[in-house]
Chain A
Amino acid sequence: AQSVAQPEDQVNVAEGNPLTVKCTYSVSGNPYLFWYVQYPNRGLQFLLKYITGDNLVKGSYGFEAEFNKSQTSFHLKKPSALVSDSALYFCAVRDGATDSWGKLQFGAGTQVVVTP
């Protein structure tokens, strides 16, 4: 079984400061990891993914994430947060052990609040 943990319900950061949103995962096979962002009453927007290759993945809007296999983590980072980054962030995993790629399992979500 696969699972995703986002240990923080909310992250508060001042504009211009670094932003980190934590995510750890558990899968049987190779992990396929994703970050999505959701604005109020909207669907999810894809930010970035790790399938294979470089552990540091760069995505949309200046976000990046680092795959750490030993710590089973995939933390999302942004060097300088903007007020417009305030949103709900979801980490998700698909289990590469299955032939059909498997379901996308979401974490509980982390609310990011960036203050001016």
Chain B
Amino acid sequence: GAVVSQHPSRVICKSGTSVKIECRSLDFQATTMFWYRQFPKKSLMLMATSNEGSKATYEQGVEKDKFLINHASLTLSTLTVTSAHPEDSSFYICSAEGQGFTGELFFGEGSRLTVL
């Protein structure tokens, strides 16, 4: 089946620093990738949709200058949390949709960000 790899799985950083999270589709080409944020025991909140080679589309209320998303190739999208603060601590999950849409999205394992 389609595999999405997300790295790192856990990251701890100091307030004010930037953190990059990678999302890779390992065995398919992902035309569209989605980034979600999940709070403890809560549902997933869609942050942005990224299409390869174009700018990401951010959901209302998500700061695009703070959460930089790049989708430079059909197998890689990155989320950079810039000038991180403790309130940015969360579980970030990416998902991907391949060519030949079948409906379901394939999810990475998630990245736990802790900002001290």
Contact = CB atoms under 8 A, between A and B. Distances in A.
Nearest to B44: A106
A66 to B, nearest CB: 17
Interface residues of A, number: 22
B28 interface: no
User: Would you call the interface of chain B mostly helix, strand, loop, or mixed?
Assistant: strand
Categorize the interface residue count of chain B.
Answer: 20 to 34
Contacts, number: 50
A72 interface: no
Given A41-B110, A41-B112, A43-B93, A32 B43 contact: no
A34 interface: yes
B43 A107 contact: yes
Contact of A46 (B41, B44, B104): B104
14 contacts: A32-B103, A41-B110, A43-B6, A44-B44, A44-B93, A51-B103, A88-B41, A90-B43, A101-B101, A103-B46, A104-B46, A106-B43, A108-B43, A109-B42
